Structure 1
Amino acid sequence: MQVLDKQLEVGPEPAEVGRARRWVRAELLRASRGHPCPACPDESQTDTLVLLVSELVTNAVVHTGRPAMLHLSARGPACTVPVRLEVVDGSSRAPRPRRAADEDTGGRGLELVELLADRWGWQREGAGKRVWCELDCASGRDTPHDDRKVPASY
């Protein structure tokens, strides 16, 4: 059973990253009001999801210069389902995590995704690709990996 299944088309402008962050936060809030426990992201988990969206959408916008599609989903009625984020873009170039130097102002996006998400990956999608990540949102405030989650301030 699908509890949350939403899409947002994202334009190729950097300002779209902020719009995507606000949209995900609003959709998670709306879903939590409509169901007793759609995916159970608490405030910290929601902040983490917003940061993950920021990184995935930024990569799509910066590295392709084309529109992208953001997909937000959570399956099942149980409170232990993962929330899945996917960004489909028009570039077939594989995402590659970089190791940024201390003074670099960029290059940490996929490193953050790798650190914060419980799972992530990518696959070819037509002429482009789909980059996805999942965050397990367990029931209550005790999540399995809280010690490695870093909340974002957006």
Structure 2
Amino acid sequence: MQLEIRPDPAEVGRARRWARSRLAGSGIQADEPLAETLILLVSELVTNAVVHTGCPAVLLLSLPHAVTDEATVRLEVADRSVRAPVPRCADDDTTGGRGLALVDGLADRWGWSAEGAGKRIWCELDCGAESRDASACGSGAVPYGGAATARAGIAYEAV
């Protein structure tokens, strides 16, 4: 499944809505922490592509056929910029610069690779309970949009 992204900040919201709609048929409920984390990662990676490259991008989402402890969700954003993603150190007063730190803290794995005249940034989320709290893939969901989720010492709420 893929979505073409224009270099426009409004595309970030469209990417989140698209990802949520794909989750609906996957067995991953929108109110599960896994879904909340995935939507936040979509937001961060698409924002980086739109803001830092000024180029169109493609969002790819690979969902498991069946959600099991061994299943993995993969998210990729490919763009036409050769600029490497650079994690930044943002101080308390800075309003940006935390995207890759969030990706690093929330994803089980992430990375990037040069591809032709551009690059691909990817991240993966495991559905297994050992990588996330016990409610990660369906056992004890958190109400969507109403409660914060915590992982690896990071608290967040995807809206």
TM-score w.r.t. structure 2 length? 0.81
Within-5 A mapping of 1:1-154: 6-32=1-27, 43-75=32-64, 77=66, 79=68, 80-138=70-128, 142-146=129-133, 147-148=151-152, 150-154=155-159
Aligned residues: 140
> Larger % of helix: which?
1
Alpha-carbon distance in structure 1 between the residues aligned to 2:37 and 2:90: 21
Deviation of 1:89 after TM superposition, in Å, equals: 0.4
Identity, in percent, stands at: 59
Alpha-carbon distance in structure 1 between the residues aligned to 2:29 and 2:72: 9
Runs of 5+ in structure 1 lacking a partner? 1-5, 33-38
- Sort the Cα spacing of 1:119 and 1:40 in 2 relative to 1 into closer, same or farther, 3 A: farther
After superposition, the C-alpha distances for 1:84-132 in whole angstroms (9 at most, x for unaligned) are 0000001111111111000000000000000000000000111000000
Runs of 5+ in structure 2 lacking a partner? 134-150
Alpha-carbon RMSD across the aligned residues, in angstroms, is 1.9
TM-score w.r.t. structure 1 length? 0.83
Alpha-carbon distance in structure 2 between the residues aligned to 1:83 and 1:31: 10
SS of alignment partner, residue 30 of structure 1: coil
- Sort the Cα spacing of 1:104 and 1:78 in 2 relative to 1 into closer, same or farther, 3 A: closer
Letter in 1 for 2:7: P
